[in-house]
Amino acid sequence: MSAPQESGATPEPRRWLALLPLLVFMALAGIFLAQLLSDRDTTTVPSALIGQPAPATPLPPLDGVDLPGFEPSRLAGKVTLVNVWASWCVPCRQEHPVLMELARQGRVDIVGFNYKDKPENARRFLAELGNPYAALGVDESGRSAIDWGVYGIPETFLVGKDGNIAWKHVGPFDPRNVETTLMPEIEKALAAQ
């Protein structure tokens, strides 16, 4: 017969079970820390649409602004930035001067998708900050943004001359990321046949 266990003694396997949540937490914390310190560009989000034809999502124009709406046919034969924005989006306001500068340079067309916005607010936004767009479609329901794979705004897509999405940027542009990421992508798209 085996000897009875002393009262109050904890069997060895239970000690390890008590440490298991701490070990799992430490492992997850290590993974998150590695991601934070990896210098990975979080504004470049993988998209299943890269290399695919831009979605054929015609959008009506913004009333009271003398610009055409979005017609997918206008993407053919030229390099175009498609910028998804709204007047209520603070980062959209931050990136707007950068878009104005890109429009002044004239290297690419910039097309806007006004996302789930009130027309009067969108008009006020453009009147205050300027209008960099060659065409401006209204995506009142957000359905077209879903077709384009938008996670949140602002998001910008670079569409090549062939009508395929060449690149996607999540978040606002600033002068640094325009110089280091957007301009090289534009140059590649302009050089492509």
Residue 154 within a domain: yes
Give the C-alpha separation, 62 to 13, whole Å: 67
Residue 186 within a domain: yes
Residue 83 domain boundaries: 72-191
Q: What is the mean pLDDT of residues 19-29?
A: 81
Give the C-alpha separation, 154 to 141, whole Å: 16
Quote the radius of gyration of the chain (alpha carbons, Å). 25
Report how far apart, in Å, the C-alpha atoms of 153 and of each of 15, 27, 98, 157, 169 are: 48, 32, 16, 12, 10
pLDDT band at 15 (very low <50, low <70, confident <90, very high): confident
More confident residue, 23 or 152: 152
Residue 3 within a domain: no
Report how far apart, in Å, the C-alpha atoms of 88 and of each of 37, 92, 94, 119, 120 are: 32, 8, 12, 12, 12
Indicate whether 20 pLDDT > 90. Answer: no
Indicate whether 9 pLDDT > 70. Answer: no
Residue 88 within a domain: yes
Residues 111 and 179 in one domain: yes
In one letter, which amino acid is 52? Q
Residue 101 within a domain: yes
- The C-alpha torsion from 63 through 67 and 71 to 73, rounded to 10°, is 170
Indicate whether 13 pLDDT > 60. Answer: yes
Indicate whether 38 pLDDT > 70. Answer: no
More confident residue, 25 or 108: 108
More confident residue, 7 or 82: 82
Residues 25 and 107 in one domain: no
Average pLDDT of the chain, as a whole number: 88
Q: What percent of the chain lies above the pLDDT cut of 90?
A: 70
Residue 59 within a domain: no
pLDDT band at 42 (very low <50, low <70, confident <90, very high): low
Residue 48 within a domain: no
Residues 81 and 158 in one domain: yes
Residues 159 and 109 in one domain: yes
Give the domain CATH number at 95: 3.40.30.10
Report how far apart, in Å, the C-alpha atoms of 44 and of each of 20, 47, 90, 171, 173 are: 35, 9, 20, 9, 12
pLDDT score recorded for residue 97: 97
